[in-house]
Structure 1
Amino acid sequence: MGSSWATKIGCAIPSPQQTDLFHSVSVSSSFQTWTTRRRCIQWYQCMKHCSGLNSYIPYLITLTLHHPRRRAQCITGMTLKDQGDYCFIYNDPTHHVDFLESFRTFYKQGLFTDVTLVSSTGETFQCHKAALAACSLYFKVMFTSDMREKSNGRIKLTGVDHTILEALLNYTYTSQIKITEKNVQCLLQAADQLHFVSVKDACEQFLVRHLDIGNCLGMHLFAEFHVCPQLEKESRRIIVSSFEDVCTQDEFVETSLEKLVYIYSQECLNVPKEQTLLKSIARWIGHDPKKRVGYIYELLKCLKIKVDDNYLRSALELHKNHLLNENKIQSLLCYCLRSQNQEASKRSTASMFVIGGYYWHPLSEVHVWDPVSNNWIQGADMPDHARESYSATTLGPHIYITGGYRTDNIEALDTVWIYNVESDDWTKGCPMLRARYYHCSVTLGGCVYALGGYRKGAPSQEAEVYDPLKKMWFPIANMIKASHEGERRSKYNTPHITAQYTAAAMRETGVDYHHTSHTQY
């Protein structure tokens, strides 16, 4: 087989015993024939198909490189035009996975460990300083600065339980951690203490998903202490928007004076009646009247409620020797109002937003009506000027414009535009899974739902939900019957209106943002 291939290219192949011939100075004339570029390539192709001839390839390359007439660089059958060094960068896509897997094995088997961590309950864990420093700024600073722990092989972590420490170490070596309702607060505290930033962010997102009226006060205090900006923002939103329900919760009477003053001082506190505010003060003072009755003036000052100070002082002095309770305090506060028909000082700061419309062509203007001043204000125009037949709904301080189509093309759109009523600007959101127009949209449980509508000229039963935390749309069960432009109403959200060419939304400052996950966290 080998000689037949050699005959075709016009040269003789020496036997393995004659390999020294290739090192001799005098080379046969046939050698000069196959050292040309074409012959070199032919030789390589020949070698690939001839078993037993692979041993000649190094000699072929060596002799070709030293040929006096032609110094072509043959590298595995490939001729390079320039004389520069050949460079090849190999990127192993599984290297980081294998690297982490090896470190995980070292951790489990206690190999190459150079530090011992001790939990607050005395359990010990053999670890690697390099792995800890890579995941935690706390350990990085500890092991790189002039601290005692830099050279100490045993470090005790005060305030970190062994189960929490074990979870953080498993995250260090596996990149995974299990967050539950039972361990989330302790896990966030430890992650904040040890500067596991990613774990802290994940715990914060978990708590945001589980916010409700019953725990928003405690979560707001927790968020302030551990500097969790998103948790603080969302818990405050629930407090100010649903204060009438929040003040009836068990957490309310345990709230500190400073926190209560902070809540009452919020300009966007949504309380329709003064009686609600007075009732909340009476309930808070009635929980511990001896210690708290003296704070009544400070609280009323925060609420900007005008009362007859002389009457209030006299009444409190008269009742100081008697047992004060919630009902008596509430009665005193009501009598202190200067007039029964006094206008409430704290009003719902509701605004109405009218987006778009149609006047010979689609409009993209935004008009805002302020009921307090009875004035209309011009907002920022919607970026997609030719859009029509879309739907609108609100979630927190945002108005979501979904779907529709353009005047020059009846093809349905899947695009989403989000209007921020606080900053008066538009941002492009994640596109829907299904393009649609003449559809309904509604918010429920902190999510946006797109229902029905038209696709390709026919009604659609398809529905989907948008998760604002994951910034993604997810499909849900199809509706029983295809619908379009229907009224949509949710149990906990004010209904919003969407007409064929006009989108209008009513919004109250500090809308409740309570997220319920539709997918596993």
Structure 2
Amino acid sequence: MAASNPQKEEEELDDMKLFDEIMIAPHKIKYINPRYKKVNAKMYDYKCDIKLSVGGSNFKAHREVLMQASDYFSAMFSHDMLEKEQDVIELLEMSPNGFTLLLDYFYHGHVTLNPDSIEDVLEAARFFQVDWVVEVCCDYLVHQLSIDNYQTVLQLADKYQLGDLRGDIFRFLGLNVMRLSEEKDFFLNFDRELLTKFLKEDVFVEADEEFVLELITNWVSAKPEERQEYLLPLVRLVRFPLMDADSLSGIHGDLLKWPEVADAVEEAKHYANDIAGQSLFRGPQFMSRGARPTVAMLIFTPDYCTVTYYDIDSGARCQEELAFSGEESQFEFSSIARVGNFLYRSGGYDERVCSSALVYRYNPRYRNWIQLASMAQPRVSHAMCASEDQIFVFGGIEHTVGDIGDEDKILSSAEVYNVRDNVWQDLPELPAGSYNQAASYSDGNVYISGGISADPFDSVPMCTLWRYDIQNRSWHNQRDMLYSRQRHSMTTVGNKLYVFGGYTAANAGPTEVFKDCFSNEVFDIETNQWTEIRPIPETFGHVMRTVGVWNGRFFLFGGGSLHSYYIDEDRMEYGDYVGLSVQKIAVLDVAFPT
């Protein structure tokens, strides 16, 4: 990864910081603008040149201070408005309390908020167009009042055109609900509508699902006479499959009296016990709260294992270190495929630098890999793809280390993994042994393109496209690609196969066999035709063969950066720098705080 400068990053964060805050008392906060230029002169000194009558109260001030602090006063005193020449300006329908607190900001760069003053300050800040004060009022409403006065917050947001603050409230609650639940009278004051919408909203929660169930039962127990009728509707919102087997067995019998709850718990127990088949369970109840489409960029070295998550919608990024087993140093030469919301990895090199038959599955919820049934054939640099419930591997290389040296065998064998049964079975062999191919599944068929062949009569690399008919267990030759390539990617979208990047034959002398292939193409399965699409700009640099796709948008990695290709627009877009050592990339639904 690129080297970072912690001191510089901290300074940049400070520059971007909107406010500092001081807790004066519970629900009483002083917000300070760190970039505000304070006024040295005291308020009400002899240099005051304007009087304001606000709701029957009188205030002295300086025109220059008011003009610098507020666009409203700047316009008033700079243009031919009636008030420009007046010594006294009347603002009859405004709260004096709100104006007093706003003057503190005009002169000193801070404002103090509490439940009694928040609406008055909002009214004044909106009237005088003071955006910073409006922003800190929103922060106060979300962080201080949302739990106890959810309806009041929404009413104020609507009245003063603050936008919909519910998303901010849900995110704040998700990150802080465990801490907040420890405060006195939390369960007594927690608004029912807020609790219900919070559980319905798919938002990241910094707590396990066991706590969510406990949150519901404690809330009902705080006022059982009033809240008992809401217990079942709230329990319906619990995602029982996110609980472990022991917790599921310990669920109180009072909740299991409802057949639908008992059925949901039984389903969750089946999910918890069916380790190998978990990727086949589909539905929101099996997804982590707040999981959203994310590009996962995996990095494995002899010293560390990390994954960088890139939120597709927001662009937010999070990097985490994974558990290290010592077997990941040759991760680049293994292959990956996605089933459900799990990532499967097969082959690669073992600790002896021999081809491995091991298979692992990555769970983005727990951020861990577990070992599954091994392939019959150890292999590296092989093709791998998946259907809804099966994983296919083709070809590759069996690399062995013996007494007389290393030996490479180009493989023609193929296997299929049944996810439900955790079992591998042999498939008919490839038409010719090959490696560094790309594979993709579509409607009962698997397509294999390019790679390097063991057949001396094939081009190096190949431009072939083969189709494997799963039902009939037969291979069929399709129209060749427009470009020969190896270590590329091929991905199915609809009834088309999109091929990106990789390497093609070099035109130079014998020392340079391959070069980057910047040409891309798409195969129409129905017409058996290839069409060239937007090439990869050469400024992208080396483009890895791995690619993720989501909602008509491909994610390509090259030159240390993540780039995008938009299918409908046939358009490439430069992306952000993420580091040169990314080895695999996939699109998963991942939950992490932003």
Interval of TM-score (by shorter of Structure 1 and Structure 2): 0.3 to 0.5
Higher helix share goes to which structure? 1
Query: Bigger radius of gyration, 1 or 2?
Result: 1
Q: TM-score, normalised by structure 2?
A: 0.34
Greater relative contact order (CA < 8 Å, ≥ 6 in sequence): 1
| TM-score normalised per structure 1 | 0.37
Structure with greater strand share of residues: 2
